[in-house]
Amino acid sequence: MAGSRATSNESRDSQWPLWEVFIQPAGGEPHQHAGSVHAVDAESALQNARDVYGRRGEGINIWVVPSASIVASTPEDMGPFFDPGNDKAYRHPQFYKTPQGVRL
């Protein structure tokens, strides 16, 4: 059973569609969630994201995603999804000695 698979919340506000913003910091690190903006279309979402989140030297690349496209796990999923890994040390690759000079 799919159970409590959540899509993003129904937007109860009367504003333009909501978009989630992810900014990539300098150095090619993974994009990080910065917040959200309202916009009518993709181009203005990108511009709004740049204006609201990108003006203090935070990054080099921006992703915007319609919030409705985000599929998220719910708090009820936390147990079944994440617990089993914690108490099974044999599942984690921690018994290898990393050779000197190898960077993880």
- Choice from 51, 69, 72, 80 touching another protein (CB under 8 A): 51
Residue of 5, 11, 29, 52 that binds another protein (CB under 8 A): 52
- The 3-state DSSP class for residue 49 equals helix
Within 10 angstroms of residue 40's Cβ, the number of other Cβ atoms is 10
Q: Does 39 bind another protein (CB under 8 A)?
A: yes
Residue 31 touching another protein (CB under 8 A): no
Residue 42 touching another protein (CB under 8 A): no
Looking at beta carbons only, is 52 or 78 nearer to another protein? 52
For residue 17, what is the DSSP state? P
Q: How far is the CB of 61 from another protein (least distance, A)?
A: 16
Which positions ≥6 away from 8 have C-beta within 8 Å? 67, 68, 69, 70, 71, 72
